[in-house]
Structure 1
Amino acid sequence: MSILSSASVVVRDLLVPDALPLLRVVGGDEGLDSAVTSTYATELPRPGGYVPRGALVFTTGLVLTDDAAVRRFTRDCIDAGASAIGFGTEIAWPHVPEGLRVDAGSAGIVVLEIPPTLAFARIDDYFDGLRITRQLVAERRLAVGRLLDAVRKGWANTSVLAPELHRVIRPGQDVLVVCLDADARPEVVLGGDYPVGLLDGVLTAIVPNPPGGEIRRALPDPHGVGGPVPIGYVASAMDEALAAFRLSERRGLPSSGRDTATLAALIGRLRADQSAPFHHHVYLPLARHDHRHGTFLVATLRAFHAADGSLGLAAEALHVHPNTVRNRLEKAESITGRSLRDVAGRAALAIALSTADGTT
């Protein structure tokens, strides 16, 4: 994730009644989350060659004398890739022209009605301030992320985090590590000035345990939580939270370190180079035997694994006699040299099958 993307301002961010009173959306609601890259004020009848992509275009429509002119102006803004059009009313037009509202809205461009009491310059200043603030926050997150990464990898001890932690963590207090999607707004969902860094492309925050009342219980999905641990063990909590976050992404549910303490979660954390031997030496020999001889060893192993090692349940799922399942398993054992009667053999089976599924 780049600094630019994390610092982006979207159209919705400008709808702040206290700061920009009476600014009103009159079209293109589905574009409210479009990024605004700049502002551009114009009274040209055909501004297309000058409108920056992603711009919020300001106009009062002084030279738009009829519906045809309005639609040509709007088409230029659409073709240029504008994010929004802010139309100043009660100067040339009492209301936003219907053609602009309909055409821009249909193209997913937000149409904003700007009253005469709200100067374009005020909106521009607010946008600039918000963009600079987001930029500074993004840069701080990259810097904190580098500190978190150094601690996680053992290149530095937790003392390097002291300037970030002293504001929110009491001496001797345990901490939690919370991982959120890179597009989340931790200042909103967590509250407080907790240290937040971009770690492996994931927003990673250190918060006190128990969390303060300002931390909302309903964190956005996906999210993962590691800990609680003393601050000296925060590196392990980071790994735990990142693993929980990846698990949350896969299953669509919030996850914690406890959820990662399963064989399936462990398999999901294996790198390709770690799972490759199981694919090459357990799965492929079985798949090749099935292909050459028309057998069903892989299907039988899947059913056996799904039945948690029960011959009877696997036989029911396959609609065969339990002895058939037993014979197939013995054949699989002879091919792979792995015993399915012990935990290690069944674990190897689970890893091998997951490589065939593409789940590692």
Structure 2
Amino acid sequence: MTSDPEAPRVTVRRLLEVPRFRLRLVAGEGGLDRPVRWAHSTELLDPGPYLRGQEIVLTVGSSLRDAEACRIFAGSVKAGRATAIGYGVGDVTPTVPDALCQGCRRLGLPLLEVPPEVPFVSFTEWFAEQVVTDREERYEREETGRLLRMIREGLASAEVLRPRIDEVGLDHGSLLAIAMDVPDEEPPGLLGVDGDTAILIGNEENVWSEPAGIGGPVPLEQLRSTLAECLVALDVARRTGGIVRGSDLATFPALLRRLTPDQLAPFLDQVARPLREYDGEHGTRLVETLRTFLESGGSVGAASRALFVHPNTLRHRLSRIEALTGRNPLRFEDRVALAIAIWAED
């Protein structure tokens, strides 16, 4: 992909697949996924100064009379940051010159054979068509993204999307919302783009990039809830990596992952650090004791058995924890704060 928002999403590989061109790759296999922004035809031996980058440079080889000329031409195209060379056979030579093939292989520059019946102007016409098509697709994505945002904010009913959902053939009764980075290609479903976030509405999980957040499934009338859910899940996924589903959000670990470092800092400073420092200075096991106590559901009996200590010994340690942190492990609210601190410390 090129960073130019007006450029079509075209690569050398895609050009090779366009039926009207009937191109054949003769060198530079390693450059198939490089972007091609435009086509530029020339018979200059040194076209580099006239290139803007990411072109396919088309030539019939009028100036490529010997091996040295082929070397200079390929080097100039490479220096001009063009993506590939298209050589039109039939006008000057019946085949692509071997010297040009060798030069392109050495430079890692894709070299394509253009059949005699394919005029160079057809390349610029095709690229112009792609620009228009991509501009229309981009507008549709952004307009869908605007509607999705309005639905999420309660400014529009999900019914405004019914025609678009019908157009792509989705089942209204079970819609998933998938939030991720904007994909390079067009995934199946209804895609809306809002800034650097894409939301794909579909009937099944279809994640094209990670991290991603998945909400739903819900009927069309409940789309607002799954839109909010997928964005919260994406926020968590961007912190932790991978894919986060809406069903993963209603858990204690998921709630903690939504806390920022600034929000976690007081728990670390006021709870975890005093316990860790006390253990280091006195050779105690308060952090281990607290972790075991929390994992035992706040049960003194279960925790003392797991630690192989008398319940009174455990209560003494819990009292020390309270003295150091100001939080009583036997109180539920304080136990939540202690759990957050232990999780953040881990």
TM-score calculated relative to the size of structure 2 = 0.77
Give the match for residue 190 of structure 2: 195
1:67-146 alignment runs, 5 A limit? 67-105=67-105, 107-146=107-146
In structure 2, C-alpha distance between the alignment counterparts of 1:99 and 1:347, rounded to whole Å: 73
2:218 pairs with one of 221, 226, 229: 229
Structure 1 residue 340: Cα displacement: 4.6
Query: In the alignment, residue 337 of structure 1 is paired with which amino acid?
Result: G
Q: Which runs of 5+ in 1 are unaligned?
A: 316-320
Contact preservation (8 Å) 1:311, 1:326 = no
Alpha-carbon distance in structure 2 between the residues aligned to 1:123 and 1:268: 50
CA 249–352 in structure 1, closer or farther in 2 if over 3 Å, else same = same
Contact residue 38 and residue 52 of structure 1 kept, 8 A? no
Counterpart AA for 2:59 = T
The answer to whether the 8 Å contact 2:7/2:37 transfers is no
- Once residues 265 and 36 of structure 1 are traced to their aligned partners in structure 2, the CA distance between those partners, rounded to angstroms, is 42
- Alpha-carbon distance in structure 2 between the residues aligned to 1:247 and 1:263: 13
Would you say the 8 A contact 2:177–2:200 is kept in 1?
yes
Aligned to 2:10: 9
Shift of 1:302: 9.8
Tell whether 2:267 aligns with 1:266. no
Cα gap change, 1:278 to 1:156, in 2 (>3 Å)? farther
How far the C-alpha of 1:151 sits from its partner, in A, is 2.0
Alpha-carbon distance in 1 for matches of 2:305, 2:5? 54
* Residue of structure 1 in register with 2:148 after alignment: 148
Identify if the C-alpha distance between structure 1 residues 336 and 88 changes in structure 2 by more than 3 Å, giving closer, same or farther: farther
CA distance in 1, matches of 2:105, 2:88: 17
Query: Per-residue CA shift, 1:232-279, capped at 9, x if unaligned?
Result: 322220122234445566776554322333322222233455444434
Whole-angstrom CA distance in 2 between matches of 1:305 and 1:25: 67
Q: CA RMSD in A?
A: 4.1
1:225 is paired with a residue whose SS is strand
User: Secondary structure of 1:334's partner?
Assistant: helix
Counterpart of 1:259 in structure 2: which amino acid?
D
2:66 is aligned to 66
Secondary structure of 2:50's aligned partner:
coil
Are the counterparts in 2 of residues 305 and 346 from structure 1 also a CA contact under 8 Å? no
Does the 8 A contact of 2:7 with 2:131 survive in 1? no
Paired with 1:173 and 1:231, the residues of 2 have a C-alpha distance of 6
Structure 1 counterpart SS, 2:49: coil
Is the 1:28–1:109 Cα contact (8 Å) retained in structure 2?
yes
Distance in structure 1 (CA, Å) of the matches to 2:330 and 2:105 = 64
- Whether 1:257 and 2:269 are equivalent positions in the alignment is no
Q: Deviations over 1:35-64 (max 9, x none)?
A: 222221111111111111112211222101
- Relative to structure 1, the CA distance from residue 148 to residue 129 in structure 2 (aligned partners, 3 Å threshold; closer, same or farther) is same
Bigger Rg, structure 1 or 2: 2
Q: Quote the offset at 1:144 in angstroms.
A: 1.6
TM-score (structure 1 length as normaliser): 0.74
**Aligned match of 2:53:** 53
Question: Does the 8 Å contact 2:318/2:328 carry over to 1?
Answer: no
Aligned-pair CA distance for 1:87: 1.8
8 Å CA contact retained: 1:57, 1:84:
yes
**What SS does structure 2 have at the residue aligned with 1:119?**
coil
Please, which moves more after superposition, 155-164 or 323-332? Answer: 323-332
Contact 2:239–2:257 under 8 Å retained in 1: no
Residues 153-162 or 136-145, more deviating: 153-162
- Which residues of 2 match residues 207-356 of structure 1 at below 5 A? 207=202, 211=203, 219-222=207-210, 223-245=212-234, 254-272=243-261, 274-286=263-275, 293=281, 300=288, 304=292, 331-340=320-329, 345=334, 347-349=336-338, 351-352=340-341
Unaligned runs of 5+ in 2: none
Pair 1:200–1:63, CA change in 2 (3 A): closer
